[in-house]
Amino acid sequence: MTKFKAVIFDMDGVLINSEPLWKIAEKEVFSSLGVPVTDDLVHITSALTAQEVCAFWYERHPWQGMNFNEVEDAVVARVIELIGQNDTKMAGVIETLQFFKNKNLKIGLASNSSHNLIEVVLEKVGIKKYFNFLSSAEDVEKGKPDPAVYIYAAKNLGVSSKECLVFEDSIIGITAAKNAGMTVVAIPAPDDFTNDKFKIADYKVSDFLSFLNSDYIQQLL
């Protein structure tokens, strides 16, 4: 009998390969405001909330004419537009969700993205029906790496943190889940896979298909 009663997924970079789309939107919107956006700094902002991204760039290069909410809305709107134009679903997502559904585990989502974007992504990928609860950084005081969004998800799934298995792609997200007391499977981006920082995760796989065909399933479940 499995020791887990729920599995919780991050969204960006886990269920959907949206990181490149965020970078495009971020560069377009902030460059239009006169902010000198660089690839190195965009990489740093990849796991932040849209609100935190606005604060990050404003601190480095204050702009005129648009307030934080307007800029945040512009970035999210552009990401939504790009998601509609691209097929970015991660390989093995549906198979993995079905696997856990067949095991009768509750399925949740914990994302730094807004509910608006979460709804768009899940509808686009066709996987909303699998989820028992959706949690966003909007629901808590602080986003990842604070554990609040994971603790909130577990509470609303009706399980304890130690009964949750989490899939994350970023160090910030893994830190949040580990600090919530959960077991974490890391799915790093290919160019980040060998990064020693991912050792804080309990397990590491290259993608969902590797997970489904690995010995990890037997060890975990």
Which of these is catalytic: 12, 87, 146, 169?
Answer: 12
Q: What's the angle, vertex CA 30, arms to CA 29 and CA 34, rounded to 5?
A: 120
- In which region does residue 4 sit, left (phi positive, over 0), alpha (psi from -120 to 50) or beta (all else)? beta
Is 220 within 8 Å of 203 (Cβ atoms)? yes
Q: How many CA atoms lie within 13 A of 217 on its CB side?
A: 11
Active site residue 12: yes
Please report, to the nearest 10 degrees, the dihedral formed by the alpha carbons of residues 183, 44, 86, 108 taken in order. Answer: 20
Residues in the chain: 221
Catalytic residues, by residue number, are 10, 12
